[in-house]
A and B are shown apart, each in its own frame.
Chain A
Amino acid sequence: MSVVLAFWMTALVIGALALPLSFRLFRRFPDGGAGLSFALGLTLVGWAYFIHRTLEVLPVGRGGAVLAVALLGLLAAGVAGYDRRFLASLRRSWPGAMAVTGLFTLFMFSYVAFRSYTPEIGGTEQPMDLMYLNASINSPGYPPEDPWLAGEPASYYYFGYVQVGILTQVSGASASEGYNLGLAYTFAAAATAIASLTFALARWVLGPRARRWAIGAAGTGVALLLLVGSLAGVLELAAAHGWGSDGLYETLGVDWLRPCEPGQAEACRPESDKWYPTRFFFWFDDSRVIRSDPGAVPPDVDTITEFPAFSFILGDLHPHVMSLPLVLLVAAVAAATWRGRSMLDFAALRRDPLVATVVALLVGALAFQNAWDLLTFSALLVVAVLARNMRRLALWPAVRASAGWLGPVLAVAVIAYLPWYLDFSSQAEGLYPYVGKGTHPGQAFLQFGALLLAGLVGLTWTVRRGEAQALADAALYTAWVPLGPLLLWIALAQFHGDLGDAVDARGAGGWLTLAAYALATWALTTGFVVARVARRAAALPLGLAAVGTLLLYGAELFVIKDVFYGGAPRLNTIFKLSYQAWTLLSVAGGVMLAVAAQRALRGRQPAAWLFAPVGAVVALGLVFVVIATPNRTDGFSGETTIDGLAFLARSDAAEYDLTQWLEANVPRGEVILEATGRQYGPGEGGAPAITDGNVDYGDGGRISARTGRPAYIGWYFHEIQWRGDTEGNQQDFRARQDLVDRAYTTDDPASVLDVLRETGANYLVVGSVEQRKYGAFMADFAEFLDVAYATGDYTVYRLPQSRVVATS
């Protein structure tokens, strides 16, 4: 418990230190941006740590992280000292800051309580996440080394791990504790961020006297983002109790969710003996709702439709999850920029370089934290700056003025993270038209229905009587918003020679879904333009909702070509863009629903009563969390701990002890040899032969993931994903696997020593995985290597040492 308190306290301190800067950035927010200060503070500390480690000003170790926090303290002192309105802001915002602290505490400890029932870092890509977290903490040099490819710098967007690593180090937690606490922090920081943003947007729309409704908007926004899930959860619950007809499931395009017939075991849901579905990991399928072939056995999953509630139940510490507070922060910066009055041009930048620099660091962090977010959220900022300047200037002068402010900001955003860019190898190979089967409308509704309806309900109160002409005028222009991408898609498909097939392949359902997205985008964009022209605060949530639907629409038309293009072309595009859409629609939906409820209940706009059915649909979206949580925690049974490796201590204490010894005794940066993950068995003539070459999602590289000590090679295909599916990479990584495997499958001591020298490794691990993967093929290492550590049947060997040392 003490480590949880230390982590929580560290997050609070960082948030508190960022308050003076939050007040500067979010002066017009009712809480002074207090809810965003966690993300703001941690991003700045993370950047300071990253850049000072890279410049070798800060050494590796916990103290470096503490010093980075101290730097934020100095920045806070400077901002507070020079900001004449700081004390006034503090007096005005302290109730909001207190409320935000309470919300942060509630969400953090609630998530810790949940996660403590299921803290294992073991399945899915969690070992990879732990590996990057350990890399950010333990790498002797910066940018950090890739622990699964000794000698090479990490080539991934790992800024989130740097930030969680800082919280972990400062609080004195171990990496396996910090992993879970990092998730809890992200959950809580995302909650406060969206609460702050939606509260501000609602207050701007409703005015200062409707505080309770604004609080309702904040609560709804938090719920939409973090608690609402796919509506497939409702069907899961129904199927678990044998409810619903086959027709319903087929109509919605989720055949696999139907209740099992007697004797049926596949592509159906078994009945549950508890009130919630008990099928193992049932909720995982609800992040794969959009499928081209709903009846395929075994399931043919070609997209990922993850949403935040799922992410937190699963517990993968992925970049797109850790970036939630940051993207909300940047969206809030865009909102604050939009709301501001003065011109933003080069002169403004010279007058207030601090704010511009901080904005640059935040925009730059988008790419470093989750590269997919860069375009969407920096575009929000660009539009906000342009719109603000257009209040005083015509279009082209406004563009020029905006460029004067945005140009340097974007330049600094790149320069500030240059060390990362130099090592990062993007695997995006360009924009391609999606020419496969379109999304079934039922699946689209189950996945995004609650969010889309929540966003669209705003149209019931933002459009006023007597604006028909204005709407019609605007609609003529805004039609290009959905038409433009469609025309581009046609052109690209024609260019690639796929147009005819693409039109057919999409299918009637796919075209219907596309049309629904297009209409939603068109309607929201039109509402946005009308509200913008009328200078109404409602323009902001409408604009965010429009961007959200545009992302869903765009993901139906295009794909970003990456390593999955051959097998599942839109896997990542739908995944990453719909996650952004979920975030934006949550912000907009929180405001739209709360304001609609206020307008309806006050009897001002009858159409706003649509909030009631939409609210009901949103409430159905909560079913997912309600039933998935007890399933994930096995009914909240079992021991509780926050240490993600406690399961290992229970299941294989010797392996756990070996890992702990390695972490405590092997210097950071020392290369170790451990199992690649490939399974060996007797081949021709009894010689060792590979019987299973798959290593990803398995035990390969588990020691380096748990300790940060670099292995010569870890998960093969993930390295391919990060560095490119080139022949050179394939050969290099295979050669690394072969070399390591040779050390474990030869009985020739000289060969083992050669491998150790060639790989630069001083240590060779023989734990449970090595015994399982290589078995009897292993040489008697003790004959020619030193036993550095032995526990039970497991041993860490070390190259023999001998050197003459002068003492005088």
Chain B
Amino acid sequence: MSAIAPEETPAAANEGAERTIAVSIETLAWIAVGAIFLGIRLWPIWQMPVGGAELVHLSGAWNASIGVEDDRYVPTLFQALTALSFAFTTSEVPARLLAFLATATIPLALFMLRPLLGTGGALIALGILAFDAVGVVAGVGAGAMGFDLAIAAWLFVLLTRADVPPWAWAAAAFAVTTGGPIALPLVVAAAATTLLRAERPPWRSLTWPAAGIVAGIALTTLRPGLGPDGLTIAPTALFVDGFEQRWSTADGLGLFILASWPVVVGGLLAAAWRVYDAWRLNELDRDEMLLLLWTAFALGWFVTALPSHDPTPLAALALPSALLLGPGLVRGFAAVRDADWTYTQYLIPFAAIALSIAVFYVGDWAKLDRVGNTSDKLVVTGLMLATLAALAVALLDRWSAPTVLTLLVPLAAVPLVVATATIAFRAGDAPLPSPLSPVQARELRDIALQSVGDDGGSIVIHPDFDDALTWPFRDSGTVVVASRIPEDAGFVLWPGEGAPPDGFAPLEGDWALLHEVDSPATGFLKFMRWYTDRYSLAITSEPVAVYVRENE
């Protein structure tokens, strides 16, 4: 039994009469949380606009499917399958369904982690992951990392089980080397754990993973659809790409504030708690060391990538954080149950009320986009100080300290639910995924085809839009990418809003090929306003001039 799951004892597990009920509740709980996990991810499959890394990688996959060389085609196994799907459809939905199917196995992986996390811990971890907004996008989007979260979860399951058949390591290694970077911190952590514990796995046992690695790298190097172009190691290539490319409008810090801070902060606190216990008791078993190192390496990646516009490191950190936070909360709730409520039965409700009033004021300021007058500020400051004082008093006594969780946990759950609900159900206005390809871009393609179909000429696109147009202009025959408008041009997409060239008329309208949804995490009031008004975020786009040949 792991030290992470102290709430379960053999005695409790063997209580005969109550067992049926306990099992039944447990099953119901798994079904309910699993359904929430899957349900939240269903809607975006059809409704989420193509954006961020998904837009980049779908573009690469499309070009690969038609044999056009493209750096955006890495490929991972998922991206190769996406390219393959374009033989049957031009839609992103089948690829998303594929990602969803893989992600849908995560509840099962969590179920199998019960021996390590405890039933309650695993359930809560699954619940937390269900509301991980970045994880929703990463787990359903058809980016090259579509399988990544599932790979990481299942790899952790394998690494913490003793009864793994040897061939499974070949499959795991193949999955990792043909996947994206999300599992990399776990791979590094596994290697570090093995080395730190001076384990000496027999050489023969390494042949299976070695075979998987060779097969995986061979596949990615062969780049199905395009052919080899030097050695390609997909996870490291995408890891490096994440630092270089713009896969989200918000940077790492913005995404953290926006979506995942409760999971990450909670996970890190749980990790610190566990490390303290390990130091105090001088014991840390292998699986716990693996989980802690996984978190540490993912945290290192996340911190290093804070200025980058890439949600992947946050998704990679949220997963182990949730696995730590789940059991941590179980311990926390147990402590709450046994805590001394003598004073905190008054202090906690007082703090909750004071905080609610303060939030009410701040919400009002956020709507007006300005801080209130001096008396308002004094009230808010006083309320905040009162809240902090009440919590401090509760925390000063170790027996009453756990009671603050009853305030902090619901408080931390709010941003998780809000961010996830926004992204899952109103992704077009959400700050993630962004930048995104608007429906308008595909409309432009239809107009272009109709225009050149009716009046002849070619579709001409300025090189500045070369990359952005791959996805919306897919399956449009040939287009000319040129920096000067050729004579046979019939339909032209050009930067800026200057006068049309001779012989061309502008197509009226505010055209754009990419939308950027502003991040709310750039200011406190802006952030609060986003909670009160889901449409408060500015959507910016670089204007595109559209010209059509005038009829003689």
How many A residues touch B, CB cutoff 8 Å? 33
Q: Is the CB of B480 within 8 A of A802?
A: yes
In the assembled complex, which residues on chain B have CB atoms less than 8 Å from the CB atom of A805? 68, 466, 478-481
Q: Interface segment, B108-116, B354-362, B467-475, B536-544? A: B467-475
Residue A452 at the chain B interface, CB threshold 8 Å: no
- A-B residue pairs in contact (CB < 8 Å), sample of 25: A57-B233, A59-B240, A61-B240, A61-B241, A61-B243, A63-B239, A70-B188, A70-B300, A74-B195, A77-B193, A81-B198, A172-B304, A798-B483, A802-B483, A803-B480, A804-B479, A804-B480, A805-B478, A805-B479, A805-B480, A805-B481, A806-B68, A806-B477, A808-B66, A808-B477
- Using A61-B244, A63-B239, A807-B66 as known contacts, say yes or no to A78 and B484 having CB atoms under 8 A apart: no
Q: Is the CB of A66 within 8 A of B482?
A: no
In the assembled complex, which residues on chain B have CB atoms less than 8 Å from the CB atom of A801? 463, 481-483
Residue B307 at the chain A interface, CB threshold 8 Å: yes
Partner of B236, one of A55, A59, A170: A59
- When chains A and B are docked, how far (Å) is the Cα of A612 from the Cα of B197? 54
Q: Which of B196, B241, B486 has the most CB of A within 10 A?
A: B196
In the assembled complex, the CB of A50 is this many whole angstroms from the nearest CB of chain B, namely 16
Residue B476 at the chain A interface, CB threshold 8 Å: yes
Residue A532 at the chain B interface, CB threshold 8 Å: no
Q: Is the CB of A800 within 8 A of B483?
A: yes
- When chains A and B are docked, how far (Å) is the Cα of A740 from the Cα of B261? 54
- Using A77-B196, A805-B481 as known contacts, say yes or no to A62 and B244 having CB atoms under 8 A apart: yes
Q: Is the CB of B237 within 8 A of A59?
A: yes
In the assembled complex, which residues on chain B have CB atoms less than 8 Å from the CB atom of A807? 66, 470, 473-479
- Using A66-B304, A802-B481, A807-B473 as known contacts, say yes or no to A80 and B196 having CB atoms under 8 A apart: yes
Residue B208 at the chain A interface, CB threshold 8 Å: no
Residue B257 at the chain A interface, CB threshold 8 Å: no
Residue B341 at the chain A interface, CB threshold 8 Å: no
In the assembled complex, the CB of A10 is this many whole angstroms from the nearest CB of chain B, namely 9
Residue B504 at the chain A interface, CB threshold 8 Å: no
Residue A786 at the chain B interface, CB threshold 8 Å: yes
Q: Which residues of B180-197 are within 8 A (CB) of A? A: 188, 191-193, 195-197
- When chains A and B are docked, how far (Å) is the Cα of A77 from the Cα of B304? 20
Mark B443-469 against chain A: 1 for CB-CB distance below 8 A, else 0.
000000000000000000001001000
Q: Which residues of A363-412 are within 8 A (CB) of B? A: none
In the assembled complex, the CB of B81 is this many whole angstroms from the nearest CB of chain A, namely 20
- When chains A and B are docked, how far (Å) is the Cα of A56 from the Cα of B231? 7
Residue B297 at the chain A interface, CB threshold 8 Å: yes
Q: Is the CB of A78 within 8 A of B307?
A: no
In the assembled complex, which residues on chain B have CB atoms less than 8 Å from the CB atom of A58? 236, 240
Minimal Cβ-Cβ distance residue in A for B238: A63
In the assembled complex, the CB of A724 is this many whole angstroms from the nearest CB of chain B, namely 32
In the assembled complex, which residues on chain B have CB atoms less than 8 Å from the CB atom of A78? 195
A-B pairs, 5 with minimum CB distance: A63-B240, A78-B195, A802-B482, A77-B192, A77-B195
In the assembled complex, which residues on chain A have CB atoms less than 8 Å from the CB atom of B239? 63, 66-67
Mark A769-808 against chain B: 1 for CB-CB distance below 8 A, else 0.
0000000000000000010000000000010111111111
Partner of A802, one of B242, B477, B486: B486
In the assembled complex, the CB of B313 is this many whole angstroms from the nearest CB of chain A, namely 10
Mark B315-355 against chain A: 1 for CB-CB distance below 8 A, else 0.
00000000000000000000000000000000000000000
In the assembled complex, the CB of B142 is this many whole angstroms from the nearest CB of chain A, namely 18
In the assembled complex, which residues on chain A have CB atoms less than 8 Å from the CB atom of B68? 805-806
Residue B509 at the chain A interface, CB threshold 8 Å: no
- When chains A and B are docked, how far (Å) is the Cα of A77 from the Cα of B296? 13
Mark A68-79 against chain B: 1 for CB-CB distance below 8 A, else 0.
001001100110
Residue B365 at the chain A interface, CB threshold 8 Å: no
In the assembled complex, which residues on chain B have CB atoms less than 8 Å from the CB atom of A172? 304, 306-307
Mark B41-82 against chain A: 1 for CB-CB distance below 8 A, else 0.
000000000000000000000000011100000000000000
- When chains A and B are docked, how far (Å) is the Cα of A233 from the Cα of B481? 65
In the assembled complex, which residues on chain B have CB atoms less than 8 Å from the CB atom of A280? none
- When chains A and B are docked, how far (Å) is the Cα of A189 from the Cα of B243? 28
In the assembled complex, the CB of A393 is this many whole angstroms from the nearest CB of chain B, namely 34
Residue A122 at the chain B interface, CB threshold 8 Å: no
Residue B425 at the chain A interface, CB threshold 8 Å: no
Minimal Cβ-Cβ distance residue in B for A67: B236
Residue B527 at the chain A interface, CB threshold 8 Å: no
Residue A615 at the chain B interface, CB threshold 8 Å: no
In the assembled complex, which residues on chain A have CB atoms less than 8 Å from the CB atom of B197? 81
Minimal Cβ-Cβ distance residue in B for A786: B483
Q: Is the CB of A806 within 8 A of B478?
A: yes
Partner of A63, one of B243, B475, B477: B243
Mark A197-233 against chain B: 1 for CB-CB distance below 8 A, else 0.
0000000000000000000000000000000000000
Minimal Cβ-Cβ distance residue in B for A799: B483
In the assembled complex, the CB of B437 is this many whole angstroms from the nearest CB of chain A, namely 14
Residue A630 at the chain B interface, CB threshold 8 Å: no
Beyond A56-B231, A59-B237, list 18 extra A-B contacts (CB 8 Å).
A55-B231, A57-B233, A57-B236, A61-B240, A61-B241, A62-B243, A66-B304, A73-B188, A73-B297, A74-B192, A77-B195, A800-B482, A801-B481, A805-B466, A806-B67, A807-B66, A807-B479, A808-B475
Q: Which residues of A124-165 are within 8 A (CB) of B? A: none
- When chains A and B are docked, how far (Å) is the Cα of A66 from the Cα of B233? 16
Q: Is the CB of B297 within 8 A of A70?
A: yes
In the assembled complex, which residues on chain A have CB atoms less than 8 Å from the CB atom of B300? 70
- When chains A and B are docked, how far (Å) is the Cα of A78 from the Cα of B191? 9
Minimal Cβ-Cβ distance residue in A for B461: A805
Residue A82 at the chain B interface, CB threshold 8 Å: yes
- Using A805-B479, A808-B66 as known contacts, say yes or no to A170 and B191 having CB atoms under 8 A apart: no
Minimal Cβ-Cβ distance residue in A for B239: A63
Q: Is the CB of B484 within 8 A of A802?
A: yes
In the assembled complex, the CB of B447 is this many whole angstroms from the nearest CB of chain A, namely 15
- When chains A and B are docked, how far (Å) is the Cα of A302 from the Cα of B297? 53
Mark B100-121 against chain A: 1 for CB-CB distance below 8 A, else 0.
0000000000000000000000
- When chains A and B are docked, how far (Å) is the Cα of A807 from the Cα of B59? 10
In the assembled complex, the CB of B284 is this many whole angstroms from the nearest CB of chain A, namely 14
- When chains A and B are docked, how far (Å) is the Cα of A57 from the Cα of B221? 11
In the assembled complex, the CB of A53 is this many whole angstroms from the nearest CB of chain B, namely 11
Residue A295 at the chain B interface, CB threshold 8 Å: no
Mark B196-238 against chain A: 1 for CB-CB distance below 8 A, else 0.
1110000000000000000000000000000000110100110
Minimal Cβ-Cβ distance residue in B for A807: B476
Residue A64 at the chain B interface, CB threshold 8 Å: yes
- When chains A and B are docked, how far (Å) is the Cα of A427 from the Cα of B243? 39
In the assembled complex, which residues on chain A have CB atoms less than 8 Å from the CB atom of B473? 807
Residue B301 at the chain A interface, CB threshold 8 Å: yes
Mark A306-342 against chain B: 1 for CB-CB distance below 8 A, else 0.
0000000000000000000000000000000000000
- When chains A and B are docked, how far (Å) is the Cα of A67 from the Cα of B306? 16
- Using A805-B68, A807-B473 as known contacts, say yes or no to A66 and B243 having CB atoms under 8 A apart: yes
Q: Is the CB of B231 within 8 A of A63?
A: no
In the assembled complex, the CB of A555 is this many whole angstroms from the nearest CB of chain B, namely 45
Partner of B240, one of A62, A77, A80, A806: A62
Minimal Cβ-Cβ distance residue in A for B458: A804
- When chains A and B are docked, how far (Å) is the Cα of A67 from the Cα of B474? 35
Q: Which of B240, B297, B473, B480 has the most CB of A within 10 A?
A: B240
- When chains A and B are docked, how far (Å) is the Cα of A58 from the Cα of B238? 11
In the assembled complex, the CB of B337 is this many whole angstroms from the nearest CB of chain A, namely 38
In the assembled complex, which residues on chain B have CB atoms less than 8 Å from the CB atom of A55? 231
- Using A81-B198, A806-B66, A807-B470 as known contacts, say yes or no to A64 and B191 having CB atoms under 8 A apart: no
- When chains A and B are docked, how far (Å) is the Cα of A67 from the Cα of B243? 12
Minimal Cβ-Cβ distance residue in B for A58: B236
In the assembled complex, the CB of A91 is this many whole angstroms from the nearest CB of chain B, namely 14
Q: Is the CB of A63 within 8 A of B241?
A: yes
In the assembled complex, which residues on chain A have CB atoms less than 8 Å from the CB atom of B477? 806-808
- When chains A and B are docked, how far (Å) is the Cα of A58 from the Cα of B474? 32
In the assembled complex, which residues on chain B have CB atoms less than 8 Å from the CB atom of A61? 240-241, 243-244
Minimal Cβ-Cβ distance residue in A for B245: A61
In the assembled complex, the CB of B540 is this many whole angstroms from the nearest CB of chain A, namely 18
Q: Is the CB of B198 within 8 A of A800?
A: no
